[in-house]
Chains A and B, each alone.
Chain A
Amino acid sequence: QKEVEQNSGPLSVPEGAIASLNCTYSDRGSQSFFWYRQYSGKSPELIMFIYSNGDKEDGRFTAQLNKASQYVSLLIRDSQPSDSATYLCAVKGSSGSARQLTFGSGTQLTVLP
Chain B
Amino acid sequence: GAVVSQHPSWVICKSGTSVKIECRSLDFQATTMFWYRQFPKQSLMLMATSNEGSKATYEQGVEKDKFLINHASLTLSTLTVTSAHPEDSSFYICSAIPGRELWETQYFGPGTRLLVL
A and B assemble together: yes
* Beta-carbon contact of B108 and A44 below 8 Å: yes
Cβ of B14 to closest chain A Cβ, rounded Å: 24
| Dominant secondary structure at the B interface | loop
A49–B43 CB distance below 8 A: no
Q: Is B68 an interface residue (CB 8 A)?
A: no
**0/1 per residue, A9-47, Cβ < 8 Å to B?**
000000000000000000000011010100000111110
Q: CB-CB < 8 A to A97: which residues of B?
A: 49, 57
Query: Quick check: is B54 within 8 A (CB to CB) of the other chain?
Result: no
With known contacts A100-B46, A103-B43, A43–B108 Cβ distance under 8 A: yes
Q: Mark B10-52, 1 if CB is under 8 A from A, else 0.
A: 0000000000000000000000101000000011101001000
- How many residues from A make CB contacts under 8 Å with B? 21
**B49 to A100, Cβ gap below 8 A?**
yes
Q: On chain B, which size bracket covers the interface?
A: 20 to 34
**B43 with A43: CB separation less than 8 A:** no
Closest to B31 in A: A99
The verdict on A80 contacting chain B, using a C-beta distance below 8 Å, is: no
Cα distance A88–B110 when bound, in Å?
16
| Residues in chain B near residue A32, CB distance under 8 A | 102-103
Please determine whether A43 and B110 come into contact, CB atoms closer than 8 angstroms.
yes
Contact A100 B34 (CB under 8 A): yes
Q: Are B110 and A103 in contact (CB under 8 A)?
A: no
> CB-CB < 8 A to B109: which residues of A?
43
Report chain B residues within 8 Å CB of A92. 102
- Once A43-B108, A99-B97, A100-B49 are accepted as A-B contacts, the answer to whether A51 and B103 lie under 8 Å apart by CB is yes
Tell me the minimal C-beta distance from A67 to chain B in angstroms: 13
Query: Which residue in chain B gives the minimum CB-CB distance to A32?
Result: B102
Residues of A within 8 A of B (CB): 31-32, 34, 36, 42-46, 49, 51, 88, 92, 97, 99-101, 103-106
The 5 closest A-B pairs by CB, nearest first: A43-B111, A43-B108, A105-B43, A103-B44, A43-B93
Q: Provide a sorted-by-A list of 27 A–B residue pairs whose CB atoms are within 8 angstroms.
A: A31-B102, A32-B102, A32-B103, A34-B105, A36-B108, A43-B108, A43-B110, A44-B44, A46-B105, A46-B107, A49-B103, A49-B105, A51-B103, A88-B44, A97-B57, A99-B32, A99-B49, A99-B97, A99-B100, A100-B46, A100-B49, A101-B105, A101-B106, A103-B44, A105-B42, A105-B43, A106-B43
